[in-house]
Amino acid sequence: MIIRQVELVAVTDRPAGYPPADRPEIAFAGRSNVGKSSLINLLLGRRIAKVSGSPGKTRTINFYEVNGRFRIVDLPGYGYAKVSRSVSESWGPMIETFLRERPNLLKVVQLVDIRHAPTVQDRQMIDWARHYGCAGPVIATKADKLSQNQIQKNLKIIRNVLDLTDDDRLLPVSALKRTGVAAVWEEIEVLLESEILLKEGS
């Protein structure tokens, strides 16, 4: 995909602040510090999402519109122990409301850290997405931190813990080494294509 234009069109913690539901959206979810902003920047070819030294900061849903055609949605990261209770409690409803009330949401891309087994919250996140019929590909980040051998081992563990089927996509990426990004774009393009087919069928 050629990225001509990227615009941050909304930053919000509530549905009233969402942009109109007039473009297909692909959301990215994961623990804070998993590498979500880094991956979004790499995908979009610019430093538009803040890469954070202090995790747990993003408490908003950020909508990036690409080529005026679709949006990448950066969901707030979860699982950071040091955020206040009120912030960590608002995270669940904020994400679930988005999943429930977003008719133009195509899929949620789930990010997990390739070094560790997915957490209870990772599993909860993907189960929510499944419940709302929008579970998408899973991305295992920070692949540069492991050997090829370990990568293969850990991918199996991730598949198991998240209960992925053989058909579910699981893609290792490294934002640092810039590997795996083409495969992520391929998945995004497949999702956008499926949306066009849906529209033509209706």
Ligand X SMILES: Nc1nc2c(ncn2[C@@H]2O[C@H](COP(=O)(O)OP(=O)(O)O)[C@@H](O)[C@H]2O)c(=O)[nH]1
# chain residues binding Mg ion, by CB under 5 A = 2
Nearest-CB residue for ligand X: 35
Bridge-based pairing of strands 61-66 and 70-74 is: antiparallel
Cβ(96)–Cβ(128) below 8 Å = yes
Q: Which does 154 bind (CB under 5 to 8 A by kind): Mg ion, ligand X, none?
A: none
Rounded CA-CA distance 8/15 in Å is: 16
Of the candidate residues 176, 183, 190, 191, the single one contacting ligand X (CB under 6 A): 176
CB of 55 to Mg ion, least distance (A): 8
Q: Which of residues 16-45 bind Mg ion (CB under 5 A)?
A: 36-37
38 binds ligand X (CB under 6 A): yes
CB of 129 to ligand X, least distance (A): 17
What is the signed CA dihedral for 159, 25, 134, 29, rounded to 10 degrees? Answer: 40
Crossing angle for the helix pair 120-131 and 85-101, to the nearest 10 degrees: 30
Binding stretches for ligand X (CB under 6 A) = 30, 32-38, 51-52, 55, 77, 141-142, 144-145, 174-176
